[in-house]
Structure 1
Amino acid sequence: MTENPVHEERALRIVVVGSVAAGTSAAAKARRNTESARITVYERDHDISYSGCGLPYFVGGEVESVDRLTPRDPAWFAARYGVEVRTGHEVVAVDAAARTVTVREPTTGRTFEDDYDELVLATGVRPVVPPIDGIDAPGVFPVRTPSDARAIDAWITERGARRALVVGAGYIGLEMTEQLTSRGLEVTVVETAEHAMPRMDPDMSARVDAELRRHGVDLRLSTTVAGVRADDDGVTGADLQGRDGTADQVAADLVIASVGVRPNTELARQAGAELGPTGAIAVDRRQRTSVEHVWAVGDVAESFHVVTGDPVWVPLGSTANKTGRIAGDAMTGGTLEHRGILGTSVVRVFDLGVAQTGLTEQQAGAAGYDVEVLHNIKPDRPEYLGGRPLVIKAVADRASGRLLGAQAIGASGADKRIDILATAITFGADVADLFHLDLAYSPTYATTKDPVHYTGMALTNAIHGQAPLITPAELDRRRHDGEQIQVVDVRSAKDRARSAVPDSVHIPLAELRTRAAELDPALPTVTYCNKGVTGNAGQNVLRNLGFTDVANLSGGNQNYQAHAALRP
């Protein structure tokens, strides 16, 4: 009797292109699910699995060595996961029909082919290089890789650079501005938008502007760089062009180009993968592209918004790690699916934490929501233990009461509150749910009614008509349109003497009941205090006395003055 021959199944071959957060996460998860797969990661650079978000802090000296940001190397991955990571190898072509990739070794020029069963594109992003004369001059740097950070550090040290120009006031631009300033450089920031951190609503990003200027940063808004000037030794300065037509020049020994990034989709196009409306690679909830056996993860891939369900592209390291893990699981038989993003982020800008999640007021309005907006200014913990103001702007849907988004700025506690609010939005919380959250309390960490609780209380009252709110922008707009609105300042005379809403009457809260006859109950009325709590008390007094149309100024006089500062 003849024995049947034993046929060994061919091992699954996985090729990953890119080895930062998403690519290494995909490879690691695939290996956790199967020991038999052959997994190869190709990386054109020499550093892998690094913390790109930590690069500015090496330049500024908070991170003592760039090696701290690159704790893993190919040998570590080989020993830990049995994954071959080949650095200095660039994948230059994809043949999806043959399931092969063409790989080039830049140092030798040699090319070869490798085959795959599953291909993961983790090609990330490429910096936007604006069409500016001199942008390629020595001393102009992007901030994307450890090599960039090393080059910036060396340039500052070897050239004795004292003046820096940062082009772009997004996350990386702001982090580099902070770190270069702390290193002793004079920093000019140029931003084409009207405010730094343009992803936020203007009434919140204006607070970032003020913080930058408070630390001596020369902030040029609504301005572009018309050209970079250089001599034989490198950068010497730049020509600036204001939106109003004004021109200026600034001196600089160093230029940081952080005007933005775009998804690096060249290989996806070669493979025939569809791009989404954002310009990133369109994927399903398991990170599959439109091409069989081709997956896309991390910054090169499109995501979708938890609130609207619409395609979005927000390149963040946290999302990159998630999507890499999901793809690695899915291609090896797992069941993980992506559940969308809110674009939750936080950045330190000198003494402030600047955080946001979900939809801004502008985005919510553009999406068709009838929005209720609250500016909540409370200390992050009791003032007797050093509590400092925390501003939370929350946006809710009037029709459903659902929380849509939030922004938070403060010296401490912004990260904690934005994470709570992001969790609430993810699980579809009504604003009324916020008050009922059982949050940790100790005077060293929070107030008995946390700023999150106040946010829920105020929004609930506003949506249900018990305590309507009006934003400074809406108050000014209605007045500008000719509507007669009586504005009542219920603060003390001492507070009013510092600043006040224009054309407001002053009736302190303690006198409001006896002096209410001085007001016209038939007119729309707005009460305000410094931050909102006493204004709400005045609002309740007037409503109980028969005033039918009374709103509380959201965020009080502090928020109004911040809004007033936005005017040209």
Structure 2
Amino acid sequence: MKVIVLGGVAAGTKAAAKLMREDRENEVIILNKGENISYAGCGLPYYVGNVIPEKEQLIVNTPQKFEKLTGAKVLVRTEATKVDREGKTVTAVDLETGEETVYHYDKLVIATGASPVIPPVEGRELQNVFTMRTPEDAIRIKDLAVNGGIKKAVVVGAGYIGLELAENLAAEGIRPFVVDMAPQILPGFDSEVSDYLERRIADAGIPVVTGVKVTALEGDGKVEKVITDKRAYKADMVVFCAGIRPNTEFLEGTGIEMFKGTIITDSQGRTNDKDIYGAGDCAMVRNAITGKPAWSPMGSTANISGRLIAQNITGEERLYRGVLGTAVCKLPGLNAGRTGLTEAQAIEEGFDAASVIAVVDDKAHYMPGASYFIIKMIADKKTLRLLGVQAVGSGAVDKIVDMAVTAIMCKADLNDLADMDLAYAPPFSTAIHPFVHTLNILLNKLNGGLKSMTPAEYAKGMAEGYKLVDAGQVPSVPGAMHVELTEVNGPVEGLDKNDHILLVCNRGKRAYLLQNRLDYYGYKHTKVLEGGITFTEAEGL
């Protein structure tokens, strides 16, 4: 069988390698527009920051090495320009010579990826203006950062790559400034979690401004200033990390179904043509919770779909259950991860969503390096099915996220998860795992044992009219009445049982314990501020 694979970075090389392992009689040819194949796109910011010191480390396989390793043929600097479905051919041009060649196929895998978006602003042709997508981009940025006398850089885009790049530019002694036209950073997180992360990034010396649109770049030959609709920023370098666009222009007029330039595929990765498949950043998959089409331009999705397509081409009949938008990133001083639906998405999809924000120990508190996780957990009230998790902390947030992925894909409910026999030793975890601790708090909220106010509700002013009570061991909330929970053995002087009371402490635990006591003694209008002072930063807290 002859298989033509268009694109050779992640999905394409994964599909080609698997096709050859399944049947050495297959003839597999990769046509790749770029010079490099199989490179570590997600590692590019870390090359800029010298975490990865050598550029060669970014290249997983050279074309020559890949050919020897797999038996597939690789043609670089070769761009597909036309697909003839009836004749089952692909026309491609050699970008070095301009020569066109027609390739016949039995099966076609389209894995052409996506290209960075640069807004059509005046001045984008100035020197020292970059995108961040390929090893060549990273090499040019690092060379300028190290040797070009750069002092200030503006990163346009506050997604994963933009924020990781900003941190690594800072590591090179450059002062980065991040701007984004979206109302929040990291759109895969609920707004209150994104706001928390934005504050922490700013605390690390990386200012972030959202809700601003870049309108022009100015400079004399080289960029010197970024103009937005709010103000101007001085810059010796500008890097656009403001999104990507699928590389599918050559498919126009072929009849291959697409949505906004993204190839529509079924659960086997097949397009509306039974002999053509789509994978990676140029193709749609499905959301595993909603079943709706989803675009998931992630390296993990590309590799999974590339392998699955190869299995289906060779007759294994595999079905892709879909994605959850799972992601994790390293930020200054902390890590952040997410999976599933945000609370806002869950409500939009028609779920009767419940959520909780918990601050829980990440390992035994007495161990060196012990810290905490901030975990937001979302579930459906009716079925108790877990819908999503967002986790922040200095420790292994990926473990929290991966546990949630497993639970969601298995359609587990909260009670299924509450008694899992998870690994415990003081250097690694707490006796009740932080994930389970959080879902227990959510169960308490759902069964009425915890009556709480979310940080989002607090930010909207819903604490107005509440009496503020500090439940901490040591008074720390200005203007609040301090109540020591161990001394509450009856009515509390200064509190009326008809008062609406907001209980606050550092993380929320002592406030919950105080609520339990107050409830016993007849105080029925109390609420605990979820996440406590650790998460919520507002006047008076």
TM > 0.5 fold call? yes
Please, which of 93, 104, 107 is the counterpart of residue 93 of structure 2?
104
Distance 1:264 1:199 in 2: 23
CA offsets 1:231-253 (integer angstroms, 9 cap, x no match)? 23x222211222xxxx3x22222
Counterpart in the other structure of 2:374: 391
Alpha-carbon distance between aligned partners in 2 of 1:357 and 1:561, rounded to the nearest angstrom? 25
Structure 1: any 5+ residue segments left out of the alignment? 1-11
| Counterpart contact for 1:472–1:563, Cα < 8 Å | no
Q: Write out aligned runs for 1:203-352 (5 A).
A: 203-232=192-221, 234-242=222-230, 247=231, 249-276=232-259, 279-352=261-334
Give 1:476 deviation, angstroms: 5.4
Deviations 1:268-325 (A, max 9, x none): 434311124x652111110000123110001111111122222111210000000000
Range that drifts further, 14-23 or 456-465: 456-465
Q: Distance in 2 between matches of 1:74 and 1:560?
A: 51
CA contact (8 A) 2:82 2:251 kept: no
Q: Distance in 2 between matches of 1:549 and 1:377?
A: 23
SS at match of 1:396: strand
Match of 2:475 among 494, 507, 514: 494
Q: For the Cα contact (< 8 Å) 1:95–1:101, is it kept in 2?
A: yes
Sequence identity, in percent?
35
Contact 1:187 1:217 in 2 (8 A): yes
Whether the aligned pair in 1 keeps the contact of 2:325 and 2:340 (CA below 8 Å) is: yes
What's the secondary structure of 1:365's corresponding residue? helix
| TM-score of the pair, normalised by structure 2 | 0.95
Give me the whole-angstrom Cα distance separating, in 2, the residues matched to 1:479 and 1:282: 44
Cα 1:354–1:275 shift into 2, 3 Å: same
Query: Displacement, 1:185?
Result: 0.7
Q: What is residue 514 of structure 1 aligned with on the other side?
A: 490
Residue matched to 1:400? 383
Aligned position for 1:4: none
The range that moved more, 20-29 or 131-140, is 131-140
Following TM superposition, by how much is the alpha carbon of 1:518 offset from its aligned partner in structure 2, in angstroms?
Answer: 4.7
Structure 1 residue 143 displacement after superposition:
0.9
1:290/1:470 CA distance change after superposition, 3 Å: same
Cα distance in structure 2, aligned partners of 1:477 and 1:350: 28
Q: CA deviation at 1:217?
A: 1.7
May I ask how many residue pairs the two structures share in their alignment?
Answer: 540
Q: In 2, distance between residues paired with 1:562 and 1:263?
A: 42
SS at match of 1:479: coil
- Give 1:349 deviation, angstroms: 0.7
Does residue 545 of structure 1 match 2:521?
yes
SS in 2 for 1:172: helix
Match status 1:189 vs 2:178: yes
- Secondary structure, counterpart of 2:250 in structure 1: helix
Preserved CA contact (<8 Å) 1:263 1:279: yes
Equivalent pair of 1:207/1:562 in contact (CA under 8 Å)? no
Cα separation, 2, equivalents of 1:562 and 1:411: 23
Kindly indicate whether the alpha-carbon contact (under 8 Å) linking 1:133 and 1:227 is maintained by their aligned counterparts in 2: yes
Matches within 5 A, 1:527-542: 527-542=503-518
5 Å matches for 1:354-373?
Answer: 354-373=336-355
Match of 1:176 in 2: 165
Whether 2:451 is the aligned partner of 1:463: answer no
For residues 363 and 116 of structure 1, the distance between their equivalents in structure 2, rounded to whole angstroms, comes to 41
Tell me which amino acid in the other structure corresponds to 1:325.
R
Work out the CA distance in 2 between the residues paired with 1:564 and 1:542: 23
Between the aligned partners of 2:127 and 2:206, the Cα distance in structure 1 is 24
Contact 1:434 1:452 in 2 (8 A): no
CA–CA separation in structure 2 for the residues paired with 1:56 and 1:221: 21
User: Hey, what does 2:60 align to over in structure 1?
Assistant: 71
SS at match of 1:496: coil
Quote the Cα distance in structure 2 between the aligned partners of 1:321 and 1:147: 22
Please report how far the alpha carbon of residue 523 of structure 1 lies from its aligned counterpart in structure 2 after TM superposition. Answer: 5.5
Equivalent residues of 1:132, 1:226 under 8 A apart: yes
Unmatched segments (≥5 aa) in structure 2? none
Alignment RMSD, CA only? 2.1
Deviates more, 1:293-302 or 1:373-382: 373-382
Give the partner amino acid of 1:396.
A
Q: What is the rounded CA distance, in whole Å, between the counterparts of 1:300 and 1:219 in structure 2?
A: 29
SS in 2 for 1:436: coil
Which residue does 1:135 correspond to in 2?
124
1:450 Cα offset (Å): 1.8
Equivalent in 119, 136, 145 of residue 156 of structure 1: 145
Relative to structure 1, is the Cα distance of residues 252 and 517 closer, same or farther in structure 2, using a 3 angstrom cutoff?
A: closer
- One of 30, 33, 41 as aligned partner of 2:30: 41
1:176 CA drift (Å): 0.7
Q: For 1:456, what is the secondary structure of its paired residue?
A: helix
Q: SS at the partner of 2:404?
A: helix
C-alpha separation between the residues in 2 aligned to 1:35 and 1:479? 66
Q: Which moved more, 1:433-442 or 1:346-355?
A: 433-442
Between structures 1 and 2, the one with greater helix share: 1
> TM-score scaled to structure 1, two decimals?
0.90
- Give how far 1:256 is off: 0.5
Q: Is the Cα–Cα contact under 8 Å of residues 145 and 174 in structure 2 kept in the other structure?
A: no
CA positional deviation for 1:528? 3.0
> Does 166-175 or 300-309 show the bigger shift?
300-309
Deviations 1:458-510 (A, max 9, x none): 11111122223321322454737x7x54554322453334xx7xxx6443313
State how far apart, in whole Å, the 2-side matches of 1:475 and 1:157 are: 45
Q: Which amino acid aligns with 2:31?
A: Y
